[in-house]
Each structure stands twice: as structure tokens, then as C-alpha cells.
Amino acid sequence: MIKDMRIPNHVAIILDGNGRWAKSKGMPRNYGHTKGSKNLEIICEEAYKMGIEYLTVYAFSTENWNRSEDEVSALMKLLRNYMKTALKTAVKNNMKIRILGDISRLDQDLQDSIKNLVQKTAEHTGLKFQIAINYGGRDEIIRGIKHLAKDIKEERLQAEDINEDIFSNYLDTTGLPDPDLLIRTSGEMRLSNFLLWQLAYTEFYFADVHWPDFNKQELEQAIEKYNLRDRRFGGVREEK
Ligand code: IPE
Ligand code: IPE
Ligand code: MG
């Protein structure tokens, strides 16, 4: 890795290509998801070692419910297991875990283990790790607007006072800095409804490899490419 590289403070990743990875090996899609979830643990550790402070990953979208029943139930089973291992890893590595998305659609036991994980890691000071589950950028904005409308109706907020900062507080990401770098694996170049508000000025990087093959070297390469970018915010250069 290049010496004295600028490490992005917040990296967001669209974990894509588990299915294609498995298919290329003649295996069922769910095998790709299992490998993908193992890879997530490895990348979390690597990201933190590199000095990344915030890592946010897209694990299950509001649109992913439309996949086959078999695949959705395999993904939910994997999430269940992941919550258990994540608790151990988070305690070991001092990670603070937060969930983005509407978890009320998940089974009660999964909601309970998510709440437990978030609560048990709330005081941790290491990597801030956000997992987006049943997350959609449009859904997040609509839920935020509903909440905001309620606050106006019940006179906790005046409509004239709404601004970007106040609206941000109604999103799932409240309190988090916007991502500096977004990575999507597997060659697809779209957002698929991820962090629509928060990615306004983020740099994008698209990796050709499928998520289970996205390793430390790939992450370093993404950061190297990020370092070659001349970040601008409305024509104004970023202070280095
Ligand atoms: C990403 O891999 C994981 C989830 C969206 C849950 P995919 O399942 O989208 O794999 P591909 O894109 O079909 O190969
Ligand atoms: C985006 O990937 C969602 C997640 C990675 C969780 P998809 O594979 O679902 O998105 P599309 O269908 O290719 O846009
Ligand atoms: Mg996909």
C-alpha cells in the first residue's frame, strides 16, 4: 500500500455478486451468501486495521424480499447466525454495531438478537460498523418524512425550521458522517437504492470481483484509487 495514504473516514460497501460467485463454481447461490458473510468478518477487521473508522454495508435491501422464498429464508438464517458471531467478534474487537433499515419486518427473534447486539456494543470505541438490513434509501426517506410530519403535527418542530441538518436527524444514519468512499463489487454500476441522501458527495469505486473474493488487497486498491481522486464539493477542493 502507498505510504502516507489518506484513509477514508467512512467507507460504504454494496456487497454484490454472491450468487454469481457461487454459480461460477457450480454451487448453489446460498453457498455464495455463506462465503460472503464470512468475508464480511474478515473485511471488518482489515478495514479497522487500516484506520477506517466507519464501515457501512448493504446486506439486505427492501427489494430483496422479492427473491425466491428459499433464498430469502436462507438469507434470514444466515443473518441469524451472523448476529451471534458478530456479537463475539464485536466484543473481541471493540466494534460498535448499528443497524440501518426497518427491522420491524423481520421475525421477532431476529429483531431481539439485533437489539441485543446493538445494545451490548453501544459503548464500544473501535470500528463503527453499520449493517443495512431491510434497507432502502427511498423507504428511509419516507419513514423519516412520516416521523417529521408527526413532530410538526404535535408541535415539536416548525415547518419553517426544516433544513438539511434537521432532516438528516430523521434518517437511520443520524449522527454518522456521510461516506467518503462507496465501493460496489461485482461490476454493477448502480446504487440499487442505497444511501440516496448520504452519498451526495461520496466518491464511487466499482470492483470487478464478486464479494466473496473481495479481500484486503482489493480494499487497499480501492483506497489507492480514492487517493488519486481530487475531491470537490461544489467546485471547492477538499482540504488535505
Ligand atoms: C449480494 O449478492 C448479496 C445480497 C444482495 C443479499 P447477490 O445475491 O446479489 O449476488 P448476485 O448479484 O445475484 O450475483
Ligand atoms: C443490492 O444488490 C442489495 C444488496 C447488496 C443488499 P442487488 O443484487 O439486490 O441489486 P440489483 O438487483 O443488482 O440492483
Ligand atoms: Mg446482486
- Binding pocket residue ranges, ligand 2, CB within 6 Å: 14-16, 58-61, 64, 188, 190, 192
pLDDT digits (tens, 9 = 90+) for 45-81: 999 999 999 999 999 999 999 999 999 999 999 999 9
| Predicted confidence (pLDDT) per residue in 92-110, tens digit | 999 999 999 999 999 999 9
First to last CA, the chain: 19
Q: What is the mean pLDDT of residues 129-139?
A: 98
What separation in Å is there between the alpha carbon of 18 and the centre of ligand 3?
Answer: 7
The share of the chain scoring above pLDDT 70, in percent, equals: 99
Q: Which residue has the cell 446486506?
A: 59
Is the model's pLDDT at 240 over the cut of 70? no
CA–CA dist 95, 124 (Å, integer): 6
**Ligand approaching nearest to the C-alpha of 61:** 2
Q: Three-state SS for 3?
A: coil
Catalytic positions are: 16, 64
- Residue having the nearest C-alpha atom to atom 11 of ligand 2: 192
Q: Is the Cβ–Cβ distance between 24 and 195 less than 8 Å?
A: no
